[in-house]
Structure 1
Amino acid sequence: MVDPKRAAVLALHWQVNVIKPEGFFGSLLSEPVARSGVVERAARFHGSVRAAGVPVIFTRFTVPVGEGELVRNTEFMRAVGDAQEAFRPDAGGTQLIAEISAGADRVVDNQKLSGLAGNGLPQWLAGRGIDVVFVTGVATNL
């Protein structure tokens, strides 16, 4: 058993732009996500670990005015940069989906493909002695 004080869940990009049909990547991802049942499974997992005292930290892919730390080095990132209004921190598409966001212990924004890059999250985890990270998400391989 993992010591809950040393663990956290990194919940990557559970946001409208990634999960829902109306989101920026909805035409690509929403149907396979819905068919797989991953949202329901992740919600149960998050609830179980939270009950055991493990924090769940959500990341949101956002693009602030001025692009923040966005680097347009791939076709994917160029597409996001070209549509950055849809990724503003207060845009509907960047909001966490209601089915899974209840009780989020922390929400961190980032402009890189990795939820751990450019946002201070690794330091936050290390500062709390967290050295075991469980990952949930639907586009974690990007």
Structure 2
Amino acid sequence: MSYQYNDQFAAATRQFADTAARINQLTLDNVQKAFGLQLSTLEENAEATFSFLGEAADVRDFDGLKTLFPKGVQVARENAERALSAGQEVFGATVKTNEAIAEIAKSQLESATVKAQAAAEKVVASAAKTTKRR
């Protein structure tokens, strides 16, 4: 009898470990994508900003400063757009990852419910047989 409980416990533990490993892998993949995207966005923004600053260092007169101002605004706008786009992409990927994790949890809950119902039906059937014998 205790072998049966040990076997059930071992199976449940194995299933829990497999599920946790899948969830961890999904989470790590999402973090890796998000970090890579944010890093590449930072790199592009820094490159554009330093390029602009290089141009600004070459300005020697007021007319050059007048032409530099619109370029500065353009660089700032593009940097903000890239950052916003990256943030939206990271958010979308995180939502998809959370949906996948929720689906895994849902399937585990459904599986546990089916097993519990089967065990309950077995107990009810056993109790019904015992009652009929008396």
Identify which of structures 1 and 2 has the higher relative contact order when contacts are C-alpha pairs closer than 8 Å and 6+ apart.
1
TM-score by length of 1: 0.23
TM-score by length of 2: 0.24
Instruction: Mark the structure with the bigger radius of gyration.
Output: 2
More helix by share: 2
More strand by share: 1
